[in-house]
A and B are shown apart, each in its own frame.
Chain A
Amino acid sequence: MRVAGKGLIDRAAPLSFRFDGHSYDGLAGDTLASALLANGIKLMGRSFKYHRPRGVYSAGSEEPNALVTVGRGAAAEPNIRATVQELYGGLEAVSQNRWPSLGFDVLSLNDLGAPFLGAGFYYKTFMWPQSFWEKVYEPFIRRAAGLGGLSGAPNPDHYDKGYLFCDLLVIGAGPTGLMAALAAGRAGADVLLVDEDSRMGGRLLAETQEVGGQPGHLWVDNVLAELDSLPNVRRMVRTTVTGVHDGGTFGALERVSHHRGTRGDGVPLETFWRIVAKSSVLAAGALERGIAFRNNDRPGIMQAGAVRAYLNRWGVTPGKTVTVFGNNDGAHQTVRDLQDAGVHVAALIDSREDAPLLPGVQVFKGSVVSNAAGRHGLEAITLRTPLGEERIATDCLAVSGGWNATVHLTCHLGARPEWSEQIASFVPMAGAVPGMVAAGACNGQMSTAACLAAGVAAAGQALGREISVDLPQAEDDPYRLSPIWAVPGKGRAWLDFQNDVSVKDVKQAAHENFRSVEHMKRYTTQGMATDQGKNSNMQALALLADATGRGIPETGTTTFRPPYTPVAIAALGAGARGKGFAPERFTTSHAVSVEMGAPMVATGLWYRPSYFPRERENTWRDSCDREVGYVRNSVGVCDVSTLGKIDIQGPDAAALLDFAYTNMFSTLKVGRVRYGLMLREDGHVMDDGTTARLGETHYVMTTTTAAAGPVMRHLEFITQALRPDWDVRITSATEQWAQFAVAGPKARDLLNGLLDTPIDNDSFPFMACGDVSVAGVAGRLFRISFSGEHAYEVAVPARYGESLFKLLVERAEALEGGAYGMEALNVLRIEKGFITHAEITGRVTAFDCHMERMISAKKDCIGKTMAQREGLLDPDRERLVGLKAVGPVKQITAGAHLFNEGDAAHRVHDQGYVTSVGWSPSLERYVALGFVRGGMARVGERVRMVDHLRDVETVLEIVDPVQFDPEGERVRG
C-alpha cells in the first residue's frame, strides 16, 4: 500500500503496467517490485526446486525471489529481478516457474515430497539404472529445471560494448562513494563514478537520516550537482561493475534501455564496458542478511532494510501490520520509520537479552521467531520468548540478522576476505586488489559518518595524495549486534531461497562429511543460483562451522568469482554476431568475382572465389573441369593477392632469408625467384613459398595465405630477438599489392598484349622476376607457377587491382581461357604434387615431403638442428606420395586412412592417410596426395583406403606425387 507523504516517487506521473495479465498502476520512480507492493501484490514467484510461493525479499540486485519475465515475444527477457526493473508505462511482466498459474502450481507437489528431495538427492537418486538417464531422468530434470524460459526466437535486441579509461574508478555511489568521487573530483582527478542503481545515493535514499543538516537525499542531490559541474567527473547509473581483472581492468554492465518502454531505435539494451582505471575505490556497501527459522520464506517476510527502502524511497508499506525481528540496533530504526509514517507495528522481536526498549511498541527481548504461517502471504508468526510461545497476527515481517560487507570484488583476483568478529562479517583483505581501496560499509565501517570520512580518505589513498574535504554532520551510532544464524526447531528453515537449501541440508552435508565449505556448497547447491548466495552464504557457512565444530574463519568462504550479478552472453559478445563475428578481408577482384556469380569461400579472414559458374553447368565440378582446362590448354587468370607478401630490405636481407629458410637465398641472382621451405625450430615445416630478389638488398617473400601472420611474427622474432645485430627491415605488403596468376600455354601471349615492353623466353625465363609496366602502370612480374604450366604472377598497386583483373579476364576469354577459382587451383596443384597446408599440417617434416635435401649443409637455419633427429629421419615415417585408384571403386576421399591389403582397417594397422583429392579432367581420374609409411620406396604398391566416416573403401596404388607432366616440360614453355 502507498503511504501518504513518503517516498521519492513522482505522484503526479502515474504509469500503467501489467503483471500476469492484470493491469495495475504505479508511479514514475517505482521499481516493478515497489509498484506491485503498492498494489498489495505479495506473491511474485515460485522457488526453483519445491515451487514454494515466494514474495519480494530485498530492494536491490541481490533479490532471490521476485524474478519475472519482462516483455513479449522474441524480446521477452527472463529472470529479471523485479527489484531492479524500473517501471515504465506499458511494462508487461509475467511470473515464472509455475504452471498453470502463480496461485495454483502443479509442481508445488514437490514440496510435499521434500523429505525425499534433500541435499544430495540428485546424486543419490539419479544413479541407476544407467538406461534411465536418457529416457527418464534427464527429460524430467530438464522439464523441472530453470526459472524463466527463453523465447526460442533470435534475440532482436541490440547490445553494445565500450571502453573507458580513468584515474579513479569509484564503485558505488552511497555516502562513501559520493565523498570519494567528490574529493577526487575536486582534486582534479579523472573520476568515473558508477552505481548499479538507477539513482545515486545508496542507503541515503532508503533511510530517514540527515546529512549535513538536510534530508539525506537532498544532500545527495547537492553532491551530484557539484560532481556534474566538474568536467573531470563522469557518472554512470544502472551500471554494475561485474568483475575485477588484472592490471586495473574492470568489466561493467550498463543496463541502458531496460527502463525504457521503446526499443529498436538504435539504442542498445545493454552495454558491456571494459574500464581501465589507474586506481579504484570500492564503496559497494553491505547486504543485509536474514535469520533462518521455520517457513522463513513466506511472502511478506523480507529484509528490514528493504522494508525501510520501500517505505522511505518508494512510499510503500509491504504490510498493514508489520513485525520486526532482529539481532541489532539497526533493525529498531525500521520500527521508528514505520511508526512515523503511521504504519502499525505489532511487535519488535530482538534475540538479544539486553536489547534496548523502544517507546510505542511491544519489545520481546531474548526472543526469536520460530514459525510463520500463510502460504500465499504471511498471516501470523510464532514467537519463542523466555516466557513461552506466542502467536502474533502480522502480514509483514522485517528481518535483520546484521549486514555482510559486500567484499565480492576484492576477491576476484584470488584474495580471501578476513573475518571481523566485531561486526560478525567478512571484510576485505587489505591490498586484495592492487590499486583498489575498499571503504565504507564494504570495509566494515557501518555508520554514515564513518562512511563519509572513509570515502575522502580512500580517494586520497587511491590517488596517493593528501585530500581534505569538510565532512558534513551525519549519523554515527555504534553498530551493535549479537550474531544469530538460525532459530533451532522442527521443520524447514530456509537459507538459499533460490535453490531451496535448508538448515537441515547444510547439517546433513556436514554429517555426510562434506565438511569443506566448497563441498557443502556443491552437495547442497547452496549459493549456486543467480544470486550466488548473496542472501544466504554467510548463514550457511556459519551453520557448517557450527556443525563441524570449527570457527567461522577456519571454515572460510566459498570463492567469489565474476560476475557480481548475472550478465547476458549477448552483452559479453556484443558486436560479435553476424558480420561482427570476424573481420572480412576482400581482394580487389571481390566485387567482380561476385558479379560473375562466383560462390566466395572463406580462407582465413579472406574470401576467395570457389569457381565461376557458367550457364548450363549443373555442378561445381563442371565449372572446375572447364577452368582446369583453361590453364592446361589456353590461359587462366586467378587472384592470388591473399598470399602473404613480406618486403625485406637491408644489407642483411640475404642473411635473414638464409636463416629463415632451409635453402640459400644469398646466392639468388637479382631478378630471380626461388622456392623456399621454412621450418619451425623443432624441425617441422612451418610454411613454404617463393621469394624474389628485386635488388641486391631487396627481397619480396611470399607466404601461404594461412601463414602470412605467423610468418611475419616469426621473421620479427628473428630480427628482434635472435639477430638484432642484423641491419634489415621487414614489412608486410600483402594489402598494398594486387597479384594475379596468369597461367597456361597462352599466358605470355596474353601478357604481351598488356605489357608496355613485351617479354620472351630469353628476357623472362622460368623463375625470372622484375619491374614491368602494365598498361602504363608500374608493376612487378614473376614467372612462377603453381600449376606446372607456363605461368606468371603479375602484381600492381592494389588500387589498380580491379581494373587489371577485369582486363586480364577479358583478354583470357578472348584467348578461349578465363578466370579460375580455388577448386581448379587445387586440382592443378594436386596434379603436380605441390603441397599446401593440407599436407604441411605442423607435424610434417622436410624429410616427410622428400625435401630434406633442401636443408642446406652450408649454413645454419631455424629448425636445422632439430630436423636431424633420428626419429624425424626414420625411412619408415609417413611420407608424401601420390595416390590413384586402381580397383572397381574410383572414389578417393581426403581424410581417409590407408591400410595394407589384407589388414583389418583398425588403427593399429594404420599405414597413412589421404590429404588432398581432386578430379583431374586431364587424366580423367581422381588424383590424390597422402602420407604413407615408407613413402616413395613403396611406389607401385597397393593399399586399401578406408573412409570410416563416409563409408568408402577404395584400392589405391602408390604413385609419384607428380602425376601430371612428370618431366616438368610445360612450365618452361
Chain B
Amino acid sequence: MRIECPICGSRDRREFYYQGAAVAVARPAPDAGAEAWDDYVHLRDNPAGWHDELWHHEAGCGAWVVVTRNLTTHEIRDVQLAQSVKEASA
C-alpha cells in the first residue's frame, strides 16, 4: 500500500505507523462527561467502506496524517495533514 504524504509524496506504507480512527483528533473537553470520553477513547466504528484514520510518517518527516481509506478495497481517496484537519475543525 502507498500513502501520499502531503510533505514527502508517495511512500510505502511501511514508513508509516498506524494509529486508528481519526476521531482521536477531536478530543473532548475535560468536563464533557463519561459518555463523550468513553466514546473518544474506546468506541470505534468499523465501516465496510470509507474510513478516516491516523497514520504517522514515523520513518519520514514525522507528520501525522489523516488518510481517507476504503477498508474493503484499500483505496485511498485523500491524505491531509492532521494539523490541517484540526485547524479546519477549530
Contact status B2-A720, CB under 8 Å: no
Contact status B82-A721, CB under 8 Å: yes
| A433 → B minimal CB distance (Å) | 10
Contacts of B12 in A (CB 8 A): 249, 274, 276
A844 to B85, CA, bound (A): 33
A743 to B37, CA, bound (A): 44
Contacts of B41 in A (CB 8 A): 681-682, 866
A717 contacts chain B at the CB level, 8 A cutoff:
yes
Contact status A248-B73, CB under 8 Å: no
Contact status B1-A720, CB under 8 Å: no
| A391 → B minimal CB distance (Å) | 56
Contact status B62-A716, CB under 8 Å: yes
Contacts of A721 in B (CB 8 A): 24-25, 54, 64, 82-83, 85-86
A864 to B31, CA, bound (A): 11
Contact status A247-B73, CB under 8 Å: no
Restricting to B3-32, which residues have a CB under 8 Å from any CB of A?
3, 10, 12-13, 17, 19, 24-25, 27-28, 30, 32
A860 to B72, CA, bound (A): 38
A660 to B85, CA, bound (A): 21
B interface footprint on A690-728 (CB within 8 Å = 1, 0 otherwise)? 000000000000000000010001001100111011000
Contacts of A274 in B (CB 8 A): 12
A6 contacts chain B at the CB level, 8 A cutoff:
no
A590 contacts chain B at the CB level, 8 A cutoff:
no
Contact status B83-A249, CB under 8 Å: no
A724-B2 contact given A247-B76, A716-B56, A866-B37, CB 8 Å threshold: no
B78 contacts chain A at the CB level, 8 A cutoff:
no
Contact status B86-A246, CB under 8 Å: no
Restricting to B27-50, which residues have a CB under 8 Å from any CB of A?
27-28, 30, 32, 34, 37, 40-42
A14 contacts chain B at the CB level, 8 A cutoff:
no
A866 to B54, CA, bound (A): 22
Contacts of A148 in B (CB 8 A): none
| A397 → B minimal CB distance (Å) | 45
A interface footprint on B61-79 (CB within 8 Å = 1, 0 otherwise)? 0111000000011111000
A155 contacts chain B at the CB level, 8 A cutoff:
no
A865 to B41, CA, bound (A): 11
Contacts of A866 in B (CB 8 A): 37, 41
A413 contacts chain B at the CB level, 8 A cutoff:
yes
Contact status B74-A247, CB under 8 Å: yes
Contacts of B87 in A (CB 8 A): 724-725
Contact status A246-B24, CB under 8 Å: no
A434 to B76, CA, bound (A): 11
Contact status B74-A720, CB under 8 Å: no
B24's nearest neighbour on chain A, judged by CB, is A721
A276-B2 contact given A249-B12, A434-B75, A682-B41, CB 8 Å threshold: yes
Chain B binding surface SS class: mixed
A716 to B56, CA, bound (A): 9
A158 contacts chain B at the CB level, 8 A cutoff:
no
Contact status B17-A713, CB under 8 Å: yes
A732's nearest neighbour on chain B, judged by CB, is B62
Interface residue tally on A, bucketed by range: 20 to 34
Contacts of A245 in B (CB 8 A): 1
A721 to B27, CA, bound (A): 10
A907 to B3, CA, bound (A): 46
Contacts of B63 in A (CB 8 A): 720
Contact status B1-A249, CB under 8 Å: yes
A413-B2 contact given A722-B25, A722-B27, A724-B83, CB 8 Å threshold: no
Contacts of A249 in B (CB 8 A): 1-2, 12
A724 to B27, CA, bound (A): 13
| A49 → B minimal CB distance (Å) | 38
| B15 → A minimal CB distance (Å) | 12
A414 contacts chain B at the CB level, 8 A cutoff:
yes
Contacts of B27 in A (CB 8 A): 681, 722
A413 to B70, CA, bound (A): 13
A246 to B3, CA, bound (A): 10
A721 to B58, CA, bound (A): 15
| B28 → A minimal CB distance (Å) | 8
A723's nearest neighbour on chain B, judged by CB, is B86
A858 to B11, CA, bound (A): 43
A724 to B19, CA, bound (A): 18
A731's nearest neighbour on chain B, judged by CB, is B62
B58's nearest neighbour on chain A, judged by CB, is A713
A414 to B73, CA, bound (A): 8
Contact status B17-A248, CB under 8 Å: no
| A706 → B minimal CB distance (Å) | 16
Contact status A865-B30, CB under 8 Å: yes
B38's nearest neighbour on chain A, judged by CB, is A866
| A459 → B minimal CB distance (Å) | 22
| A662 → B minimal CB distance (Å) | 13
Contact status B73-A864, CB under 8 Å: no
Contacts of A869 in B (CB 8 A): 34
B81's nearest neighbour on chain A, judged by CB, is A720
| A276 → B minimal CB distance (Å) | 7
Restricting to A240-277, which residues have a CB under 8 Å from any CB of B?
245-249, 274, 276
Contacts of B2 in A (CB 8 A): 246-249, 276
| A730 → B minimal CB distance (Å) | 9
Task: From B30, B56, B75, B86, give the contact of A724 (CB < 8 A).
Answer: B86
A165's nearest neighbour on chain B, judged by CB, is B10
Contacts of B30 in A (CB 8 A): 860, 864-865
Restricting to A275-298, which residues have a CB under 8 Å from any CB of B?
276
Contacts of B17 in A (CB 8 A): 713
A248 to B2, CA, bound (A): 8
Contact status B56-A247, CB under 8 Å: no
A506 to B6, CA, bound (A): 53
Contacts of A722 in B (CB 8 A): 25, 27, 86
Contacts of A709 in B (CB 8 A): 58
Contact status A720-B37, CB under 8 Å: no
A413 to B54, CA, bound (A): 23
A804 to B13, CA, bound (A): 41
A276 to B25, CA, bound (A): 31
A245 to B56, CA, bound (A): 21
A866 to B27, CA, bound (A): 12
A720-B58 contact given A245-B1, A866-B37, CB 8 Å threshold: no
A247-B86 contact given A716-B62, A720-B64, A866-B37, CB 8 Å threshold: no
Contacts of B64 in A (CB 8 A): 716-717, 720-721
Contacts of B32 in A (CB 8 A): 865
A724 to B54, CA, bound (A): 16
Contacts of B3 in A (CB 8 A): 247
Contacts of A681 in B (CB 8 A): 24, 27, 40-41
| B6 → A minimal CB distance (Å) | 12
Contacts of B85 in A (CB 8 A): 721
A864 to B3, CA, bound (A): 34
Contacts of A247 in B (CB 8 A): 1-3, 13, 74, 76
Most buried by B among A249, A276, A413, A716: A716
A103 to B38, CA, bound (A): 71
A724 to B66, CA, bound (A): 14
A682's nearest neighbour on chain B, judged by CB, is B41
| A358 → B minimal CB distance (Å) | 50
A409 to B85, CA, bound (A): 37
Contact status B37-A713, CB under 8 Å: no
B22's nearest neighbour on chain A, judged by CB, is A721
Task: From B1, B37, B56, B72, give the contact of A717 (CB < 8 A).
Answer: B56
**Given A413-B74, A721-B54, 5 extra CB contacts under 8 A:** A246-B1, A246-B74, A721-B85, A724-B87, A865-B32
3 shortest interchain CB distances as A-B pairs: A247-B2, A721-B82, A246-B1
Which chain A residues have a beta carbon within 8 Å of chain B's beta carbons?
A: 245-249, 274, 276, 413-414, 434, 681-682, 709, 713, 716-717, 720-722, 724-725, 860, 864-866, 869
Which chain B residues have a beta carbon within 8 Å of chain A's beta carbons?
A: 1-3, 10, 12-13, 17, 19, 24-25, 27-28, 30, 32, 34, 37, 40-42, 54, 56, 58, 62-64, 72-76, 81-83, 85-87, 90
12 A-B residue pairings within 8 Å (CB atoms):
A247-B2, A247-B74, A713-B56, A716-B62, A717-B24, A720-B83, A721-B24, A721-B64, A721-B83, A724-B87, A865-B28, A866-B41
